[in-house]
Amino acid sequence: MTDRYAVMGNPVAHSKSPRIHTLFARQTGQDMDYTAIRVEPAGLASAVGEFHANGGRGLNITVPFKEDAWALAVQRSERAELAGAVNTLVLDAAGKHFGDNTDGVGLVRDLTLNHGCALTGKRLLLVGAGGAAQGVIEPLLTEHPALLVVANRTAAKAVALARRFCGLGRIEGCGLDGPDGQSFDVIINATAASLSGTVPALPASVVSADTWCYDMMYGDEPTAFVRWGRERGAAHSVDGLGMLVEQAAESFYLWRDVRPDTGPVIAELRNQ
Ligand code: ATR
């Protein structure tokens, strides 16, 4: 029987995950089916229960249910524990659902392996302090940057995150104007600003001619943050489509114990 997988979220109709996992399954010869399921607010637990009862083997969880999925998981990986959010559930026959978070490793793989952007020993600026930012801090610090500055519109949230993760590496939290006068090797946008076509109000100094700008969001057109980086003369300014494919590959590996080749899938999505 074909194994069933799905992504749950709201909204979820435009998710690229079914396309990505279908391409992975075809490439690796795995007999599996992957759909998108829209879940009503507060409805995650019953939706997961129903999916599991109908033979579901694993789930991706997207906005706004990643914290709910964290609470639902009976066991969690260390990285999910630190992220405070779960984007992947492995559904166990006995109902002991395992929760993991593959977003951070997806970001790091896309930056380092696909783009060739080194993080070790570099000065990193992470913009935003919501769930998306929180999910990538531990994997970024694991790369041993010289410094990770978290800058957020609400400074107190960035300061609190820096305090929470300070045992893992050199990390500082501040408001958006906090980095004034400093420049960074890599600037990662983890805010929701791109959704409304705006860009966080960062000081001009942060971008130099060697800087990488990376937007965790993506779109058919360059995002506002990608355009912002280009306009300020960053060496590279790229969106997060590769991160999406890499986090999916890591989920696929957890479910199927097979690692798909992400390059052709990223290329195919770009060409669509
Ligand atoms: P997510 O789970 O996607 O991170 P979130 O937890 O609501 O969503 O966090 C959204 C992040 O985007 C926050 O860091 C938010 O800043 P505040 O903490 O000050 O609200 C940031 N954000 C949203 N719109 C923004 C904008 N127009 N400019 C700058 N930051 C913005």
Cβ neighbour number for residue 173 with a 10 Å cutoff: 24
Domain co-membership, 138 together with 42: no
Atom of ligand 1 nearest to the CA of 195: 24
Say if ligand 1 is within 6 A of residue 154 CB. Answer: yes
pLDDT at 95: 80
Domain co-membership, 62 together with 169: no
Say if ligand 1 is within 6 A of residue 128 CB. Answer: yes
Give the whole-number percent of the chain exceeding pLDDT 70.
100
Say if ligand 1 is within 6 A of residue 131 CB. Answer: yes
Q: 134-181 pLDDT, tens per residue? A: 999 999 999 999 999 999 999 999 999 999 999 999 999 999 999 999
CATH of the domain at 212: 3.40.50.720
Q: 50-77 pLDDT, tens per residue? A: 999 999 999 999 999 999 999 999 999 9
Domain co-membership, 155 together with 221: yes
Task: Tell which one of 63, 87, 153 to mutate to probe ligand 1, the residue whose CB is within 8 A of the most ligand atoms.
Answer: 153
pLDDT at 272: 85
Distances (CA, A) of 22 to 33, 43, 56, 61, 191: 7, 26, 16, 17, 29
Say if ligand 1 is within 6 A of residue 198 CB. Answer: yes
For residue 238, give the H/E element and its range: strand 236-238
Atom of ligand 1 nearest to the CA of 66: 2
Domain co-membership, 217 together with 137: yes
| Owning domain of residue 140 | 104-239
- Domains in the chain, number: 2
Residue nearest to atom 7 of ligand 1 (CA): 130
Residue 199 above 90 pLDDT?
Answer: yes
pLDDT confidence band for 94 (50 / 70 / 90): confident
Distance from Cα 56 to the centre of ligand 1, integer Å: 33
Domain co-membership, 117 together with 66: no
Q: 41 preceded by cis ω (within 30°)?
A: no
pLDDT at 93: 84
Domain co-membership, 81 together with 115: no
Domain co-membership, 110 together with 87: no
Cβ neighbour number for residue 106 with a 10 Å cutoff: 27
pLDDT confidence band for 195 (50 / 70 / 90): confident
Residue nearest to atom 5 of ligand 1 (CA): 130
Say if ligand 1 is within 6 A of residue 130 CB. Answer: yes
Structure tokens at 87: 């984007």
Domain co-membership, 90 together with 20: yes
Active site residues: 66
Long-range residue pairs from 206-210, CB within 8 A, at least 24 positions apart, any chain = 206/125, 206/179, 206/182, 207/183, 207/232, 207/233, 207/234, 208/183, 208/184, 208/234, 209/233, 209/234, 209/235, 210/185, 210/235
Average per-residue pLDDT for the chain: 96
Residue 16 above 90 pLDDT?
Answer: yes
Domain co-membership, 149 together with 28: no
Say if ligand 1 is within 6 A of residue 152 CB. Answer: yes
Torsion-angle region of 125 (φ positive above 0: left; ψ -120 to 50: alpha; else: beta): beta
